[in-house]
A and B are shown apart, each in its own frame.
Chain A
């Protein structure tokens, strides 16, 4: 069994040589050894692609850069993207929401072990139920079997927060958002955030002031969390890219827990299941 890195390179080479895709989106090392997203356009360049514990950024967000025809008359480009289990669920989300066509993408799905973000183990990996991506065109097998987590996500950290009085919870989040600089890195890194004009930036209607101050930052993060309810796949890209280390995944996990409790739904798990908040079901009856 060749290494996962080799398998990724092989898949990329085959896709590019065969003219199946025009670009493969994966990971590479920069000159200082740091892991960063890689865009490989030529089969001869596939050796740039790497796979390591630090391959952590959700690359599916880049699918939005390739979903339109580049100029009049030109076809929509076909791309291949390297995904982990969580990223793969984002692919399903984008397919549900008709942002991408299944025929235009090749998914290089990697069965992955725990990942690292900023030198620390990723919390989301601890709760990962799949390890094997739910959607793929090429499956990159691990060299040794990957251990699945023993228990599903019990949302222990969220339950703990739910014990706090509302004032305590508000005080916690106001402290966290205080150092937010409203850079929108979280939004830009998120595959679920792709609005042409974000509510936070709209002039008409005028939802939010442009001020980089606490009320506006609070509004932005809470609004974004709600817009992701039932859509967030828990890749934690938002938290990983935040320059101020704000624990954004707590917000997303809280809402993911609510959606799971109410609808028994986890984003992107089942290709046939539709996101509950984006689906109108006349037979739906919620206990209120």
Chain B
């Protein structure tokens, strides 16, 4: 009898179910896996990612932007920055892509129960945070106060704008928006997210924070949170790396002895501080 060799680098064939604009240069891609059994097995948590293939162009990692509770399709926010994302932007309903996942670890939402949650999202970093917010809203009674800080370089780059109203309407939930550079008609703050957070000064009591964005934003966000009295063990971040295999084999995404694709991308910040190497 021949042995079965499972190739973890082999993508599942998937079909595009929807494509819509989220912001300038950012689209929401919705897919389902063609194999029904594989689709059923594709159970993911907020914070996890998948490797999406634009066939013939390449494969890139994307944070999963949906929740299984709310969506029958798997959603990815795709920022057009290179060849793969460019190819994904050109796709239409019915086109084929490849998906490998879910990969990495998710946010420990169970640990957050009973606590106040502070969310900091910078630019495309908002994509993996949206399912966190949705999960909290769908189980509102399990969590304390929800403070969302949402930012982008300018108003055209803000993501999930059509969901802000739902977030604001949720009990004991605040939404704070800011952009680095405002344009006429922008009614909210202008300035860095860290300035906004320090201004609002959410309480560190019985709270956890979740930050997602470019490495430099995470660095300064952690400093701000520290100023506000948050201990590193209260802060959770998602780290970014040029992940290739996504399964901890190719060695590319290591930060000290941790692999961002396998031990992360979600890390509690005190763990990040203990790493020999700096993430930024």
Q: Residues of A with Cβ closer than 8 Å to B? A: 203-204, 206
Query: Would you give the shortest CB distance from A52 to chain B, in whole angstroms?
Result: 38
Query: Could you give 6 example pairs across A and B, Cβ below 8 Å?
Result: A203-B58, A203-B82, A203-B83, A204-B82, A204-B83, A206-B83
Query: Would you give the shortest CB distance from B192 to chain A, in whole angstroms?
Result: 17
Contacts of B82 in A (CB 8 A): 203-204
Kindly state the separation between the CA atoms of A204 and B60 in the bound complex, as whole angstroms.
Answer: 14
Identify the 6 closest CB pairs spanning chains A and B, nearest first: A204-B83, A203-B83, A204-B82, A203-B82, A206-B83, A203-B58
Kindly state the separation between the CA atoms of A268 and B239 in the bound complex, as whole angstroms.
Answer: 47
Contacts of B58 in A (CB 8 A): 203
Contacts of B83 in A (CB 8 A): 203-204, 206
Closest B residue to A204 using CB positions = B83
Query: Would you give the shortest CB distance from B89 to chain A, in whole angstroms?
Result: 14
B63-98 toward A: CB 8 Å interface, digit per residue (1/0)? 000000000000000000011000000000000000
Kindly state the separation between the CA atoms of A54 and B83 in the bound complex, as whole angstroms.
Answer: 47
Tell me if A's interface is mostly helix, strand, loop or mixed.
loop
Q: Residues of B with Cβ closer than 8 Å to A? A: 58, 82-83
Closest A residue to B58 using CB positions = A203
Kindly state the separation between the CA atoms of A206 and B83 in the bound complex, as whole angstroms.
Answer: 10
Query: Would you give the shortest CB distance from A249 to chain B, in whole angstroms?
Result: 34
Closest A residue to B84 using CB positions = A203
Kindly state the separation between the CA atoms of A203 and B81 in the bound complex, as whole angstroms.
Answer: 12
Query: Would you give the shortest CB distance from B274 to chain A, in whole angstroms?
Result: 25
Contacts of A203 in B (CB 8 A): 58, 82-83
Query: Would you give the shortest CB distance from B16 to chain A, in whole angstroms?
Result: 23
Kindly state the separation between the CA atoms of A204 and B84 in the bound complex, as whole angstroms.
Answer: 10
Closest B residue to A205 using CB positions = B83
Kindly state the separation between the CA atoms of A206 and B82 in the bound complex, as whole angstroms.
Answer: 12
Closest A residue to B57 using CB positions = A206
Kindly state the separation between the CA atoms of A114 and B6 in the bound complex, as whole angstroms.
Answer: 59
Closest A residue to B86 using CB positions = A204
Contacts of A206 in B (CB 8 A): 83
Contacts of A204 in B (CB 8 A): 82-83
Closest A residue to B82 using CB positions = A204
Query: Would you give the shortest CB distance from A230 to chain B, in whole angstroms?
Result: 32
Query: Would you give the shortest CB distance from B277 to chain A, in whole angstroms?
Result: 18
Query: Would you give the shortest CB distance from A69 to chain B, in whole angstroms?
Result: 18
Kindly state the separation between the CA atoms of A206 and B86 in the bound complex, as whole angstroms.
Answer: 14
Query: Would you give the shortest CB distance from A71 to chain B, in whole angstroms?
Result: 13
